[in-house]
C-alpha cells in the first residue's frame, strides 16, 4: 500500500520507513490512520513552522543551558477530563480528551461535578518520575491548570482545585515536585493563561458566559491567573519552566505582566513560546517538526497517540521506532522533544505509553551520547528537499520531501550518524574539509570500516544493520567544528 511520507509535516507518496518501522514494532500505520490523526487532532495553531533567528541575549542563553542539554522531556496532561475520557453522557465527544467540556458544551455547573469524583488512588509521583527517567527524559512538564480551569494544586486564588474540591485532597503538584527533587529531574508547569472555561471572565466559555469580547478579561487575569502563577512559583521549589498556551486576548501589557511575575519570583525559570510575548524559546505547533535546522532554542510538543488528555478510544500509539526517529530528527535540527502522556482518572499512565517510552529509553541508555547536549547537523541534505514545483501544504508552508534514512548530530570533534535503515554500501560521508580520524559504533565501540577514495570518505556498515531501531556511528575528525 502506498502511504504518505508525512512523518513530520512533509508529504510524498511511496513506500517508506514508516511501513518498515510499523512492521518491526507492530504498530499499524496507514494513510487512513494519518488522516484520522488530523481529524481527531485538528491542524496545529499558527505558531512558527520555520524558526527565525533572534538577536543574541546572554541572560537568556544562560537560562537555556540546561534546556539545550536536556533535549527530551515528558509532557503530562492530567485533570478532571480523565474521568469522561472522551465521552459525555454516553456519547462520544470528538476531538482531544482535554477538550471534552468545550466540544460537548458542558455547562460549568455540570462539569464541576467531576471534581467530587476525582479520586486517583493509584497516583504515585515517584512512579511517574521513574518512568520519565527510564525513558531517558530529562524534564517533566505537567498541566497545573488546563483550559477547563481546574487546578491540580492547592490554590488560595480558586477553590476549584485538587485539594479543596476533590475527595483525594492531596496536592499532586507538591508530591510531584518532591519526587522530582528526589529523582534529580526538572519540573515545569503548563498553565493555560487565557482560556479558562470555568470563569465568567476567562476566555473560551461562550455557552455559559457569552462572547469573549464582552468579558472583563483583566478581572480574570488579576483575580485568578496571575495569583496562581505566583503560587506555582513560590510553593513548589525551583520551577524549570512555565508552559503558557493558546495566547488569546494577550494584548498590550497582559503577557508582560506574566513575564514580570516569572522574572521577579524565579529569574531562572524559562518561559515557553506561547505566552503572547517573546518567550525564552520557540514552541512549534503541536506535533510540528520544522523542515530545517536552527541555532535558536525550540521545542515540539507532541502526542504519543492523537490526544493529550486520556481518551479510552485512542489506541493508535506511535511505535518506539517512530519516536526514536522523531527524537533524532528534532535534535539534528537543534530542538527539544516534549512527548506527552495522558494518565487515567485513577492516576495511571497507560501501559502502552509506558512500554513505548521505556523501549526508547533502553536505546537511549546505549546511544544517548548522540542526543543529550548534541548540536544540530552541519549538513542538511539528509533532511529532504523542497518540492521542485513549489507545492505547499495546507498551512501554506513549502512541502518538503523528507528523507528518513539517517540523521546526524554533533559534538566537538565528533559527528554522530544515526541510521534508521541500512545505508547504501558504502555510505558516503558528506564532504568536509577536516581530516577524518576514525569511525566506530556508539553502542559497542566496534570500529567501522572507513576508507577514502578520490577525496570521498566512505563507511562500510555490516548487513543486516546492527540495531534495527537505529544504529549510531561516531565519526571523529580533526578540530572541533566541521568545516565545509
Ligand atoms: O488546546 C491545547 C491542547 O489541549 C494541548 O494542551 C496542546 C499542547 O500543546 N496545546 C493546545 C493546542 O495547541
- Sequential DSSP letters for 339-371: EEE---TTS---HHHHHHHHHHHHHHHHHGGGT
Distance from Cα 258 to the centre of ligand 1, integer Å: 19
Specify the ligand 1 atom closest to the Cα of 99.
Answer: 4
Compute the distance from residue 82 Cα to the ligand 1 centre, in Å.
15
8-state DSSP, 223? I
The answer to whether 365 and 373 are in contact (CB under 8 A) is no
Q: Pick the residue whose CA is nearest to atom 1 on ligand 1.
A: 246
Exposed/middle/buried for residue 124 (C-beta within 10 Å: 0-12, 13-18, 19+)? middle
Looking at residue 14, its pLDDT comes to 28
State how far the Cα of 67 lies from the Cα of 336, in Å rounded to an integer.
Answer: 8
Q: Can you say how many angstroms the Cα of residue 253 is from the centroid of all Cα atoms in its chain?
A: 28
Facing residues of 430 across strands? none
- Residue 149 confidence (pLDDT) above 90: yes
Question: Considering the chain, what percentage of its residues have pLDDT values greater than 90?
Answer: 84
How many whole angstroms separate alpha carbon 69 and alpha carbon 411? Answer: 12
The x, y and z cell numbers of residue 11, run together, are 508529504
Q: 72-76 and 335-341: which strand pairing? A: parallel
Distance CA 246, CA 191 (A): 10
Around ligand 1, the residues with Cβ closer than 6 Å are 45, 96, 98-99, 245-246, 286, 301, 308
Closest CA to 148 of 172, 113, 174, 176: 113
Atom of ligand 1 nearest to the CA of 45: 13
pLDDT tens digits for range 454-481 = 889 999 998 899 999 999 999 999 999 9
Ligand 1, atom nearest to 286 Cα: 9
Cell numbers placing 426: 558504502
pLDDT at 369 over 60: yes
CA torsion sign for 141, 146, 152, 157 is: positive
Give 20-30 pLDDT, tens digit per residue. Answer: 433 343 333 33
Residue 49 pLDDT grade (very low, low, confident, very high; cuts 50, 70, 90): low
Answer yes or no: is pLDDT of 101 > 90: yes
Average pLDDT (394-416) is: 91
CA of 245 to the centre of ligand 1 (A): 7
CA angle, 357 then 312 then 161, to 5°: 85
Cell 487512513 belongs to which residue? 32
Distance from residue 146's CA to the centre of ligand 1 (Å) = 9
What is the pLDDT, as a whole number, of residue 398? 78
Using omega within 30 degrees of 0 as the cis cutoff, is the peptide bond preceding 426 cis?
yes
- 433-457 confidence digits (pLDDT tens): 999 999 999 999 999 999 999 889 9
Q: Which atom of ligand 1 is nearest to the CA of 75?
A: 8
Residue 40 has pLDDT above 60, yes or no: no
**What 3-state class would DSSP assign to 92?**
strand
More confident residue, 232 or 422: 232
As given in the structure block, the three cell numbers for residue 373 are 547536549
Q: What is the mean pLDDT of residues 228-254?
A: 98
Looking at every residue in the chain, the average pLDDT score rounds to: 90
CA of 147 to the centre of ligand 1 (A): 9
Q: Is 20 left (phi over 0), alpha (psi -120 to 50) or beta?
A: alpha
pLDDT at 425: 83
373-395 as b/e: b if 16+ CB within 10 A = ebbbbbbbebbbebbeeeeebee
391 with 164: CB under 8 angstroms?
A: no
Taking the C-alpha atoms of residue 121 and residue 144, their distance in angstroms, rounded to an integer, is 19
Cα–Cα distance measured from residue 357 to residue 317, given in angstroms and rounded to the nearest whole number: 11
> Is the whole model's pTM more than 0.95, yes or no?
no
Q: Which of 91-105, 188-202, 311-325, 393-407 has the lowest mean pLDDT?
A: 393-407
Torsion 66-322-298-202 (CA) sign: negative
| pLDDT recorded at residue 399 | 82
**For residues 436-466, b (16+ Cβ closer than 10 Å) or e, as one string?**
beebbbbeeeeebebeeeeeebebebeeeeb
Mean pLDDT of 348-353: 98
Amino acid at each position: 500500500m502506498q502511504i504518505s511520507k508525512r512523518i513530520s509535516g512533509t508529504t510524498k507518496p511511496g513506500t517508506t520507513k514508516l511501513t518498515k518501522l510499523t512492521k518491526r514494532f507492530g504498530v499499524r500505520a496507514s494513510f487512513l490512520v494519518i488522516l484520522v490523526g488530523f481529524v481527531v487532532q485538528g491542524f496545529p495553531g499558527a505558531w512558527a513552522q520555520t524558526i527565525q533567528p533572534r538577536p543574541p541575549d546572554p541572560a537568556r542563553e544562560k537560562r537555556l543551558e540546561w534546556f539545550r542539554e536536556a533535549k527530551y522531556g515528558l509532557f503530562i496532561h492530567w485533570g478532571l477530563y480523565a474521568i469522561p475520557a472522551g465521552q459525555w453522557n454516553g456519547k462520544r465527544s470528538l476531538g482531544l480528551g482535554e477538550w471534552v467540556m468545550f466540544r460537548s458544551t458542558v455547562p460549568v455547573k455540570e462539569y464541576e461535578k467531576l471534581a467530587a469524583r476525582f479520586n486517583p488512588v493509584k497516583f504515585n509521583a515517584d512512579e511517574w518520575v521513574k518512568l520519565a527517567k527510564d525513558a531517558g527524559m530529562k524534564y517533566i512538564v505537567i498541566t497545573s491548570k488546563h483550559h477547563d480551569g481546574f487546578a491540580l494544586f492547592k490554590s488560595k486564588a480558586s477553590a476549584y482545585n485538587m485539594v479543596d474540591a476533590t475527595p483525594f485532597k492531596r496536592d499532586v503538584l507538591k508530591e510531584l515536585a518532591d519526587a522530582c527533587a528526589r529523582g534529580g529531574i526538572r519540573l515545569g508547569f503548563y498553565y493555560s493563561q487565557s482560556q479558562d472555561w470555568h470563569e465568567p471572565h476567562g476566555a473560551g466559555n461562550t455557552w455559559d458566559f457569552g462572547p469573549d469580547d464582552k468579558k472583563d478579561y483583566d478581572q480574570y487575569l488579576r483575580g485568578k491567573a496571575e495569583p496562581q502563577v505566583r503560587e506555582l512559583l513560590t510553593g513548589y521549589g525551583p520551577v524549570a519552566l512555565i508552559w503558557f498556551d493558546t495566547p488569546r486576548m494577550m494584548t498590550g501589557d497582559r503577557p508582560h505582566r506574566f513575564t514580570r511575575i516569572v522574572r521577579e519570583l524565579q529569574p531562572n525559570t524559562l518561559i515557553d513560546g506561547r505566552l503572547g510575548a517573546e518567550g525564552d524559546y520557540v514552541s512549534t505547533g503541536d506535533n510540528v517538526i520544522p523542515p530545517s535546522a536552527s541555532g535558536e532554542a525550540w521545542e515540539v510538543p507532541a502526542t504519543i497517540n492523537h490526544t493529550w488528555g486520556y481518551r479510552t478510544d485512542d489506541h493508535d500509539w506511535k511505535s518506539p521506532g517512530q519516536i526514536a526517529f522523531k527524537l533524532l530528527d528534532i535534535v539534528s535540527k537543534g530542538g527539544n522533544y516534549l512527548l506527552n502522556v495522558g494518565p487515567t482518572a485513577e492516576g495511571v499512565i497507560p501501559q502502552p505509553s509506558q512500554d513505548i517510552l521505556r523501549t526508547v529509553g533502553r536505546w537511549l541508555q546505549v546511544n544517548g551520547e548522540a542526543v543529550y547536549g548534541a548540536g544540530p547537523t552541519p549538513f542538511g541534505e539528509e533532511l529532504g528537499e523542497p518540492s521542485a514545483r513549489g507545492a505547499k501544504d495546507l498551512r501554506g508552508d513549502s512541502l518538503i520531501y523528507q528523507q528518513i534514512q539517517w540523521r546526524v548530530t554533533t559534538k566537538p570533534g565528533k559527528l554522530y550518524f544515526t541510521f534508521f535503515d541500512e545505508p547504501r554500501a558504502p555510505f558516503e560521508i558528506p564532504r568536509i574539509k577536516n581530516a577524518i580520524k576514525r569511525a566506530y559504533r556508539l553502542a559497542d565501540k566496534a570500529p567501522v570500516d572507513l576508507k577514502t577514495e578520490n577525496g570521498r570518505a566512505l563507511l562500510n556498515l555490516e548487513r543486516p544493520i546492527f540495531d534495527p531501531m537505529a544504529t549510531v556511528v561516531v565519526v571523529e575528525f580533526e578540530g572541533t567544528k566541521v568545516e565545509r
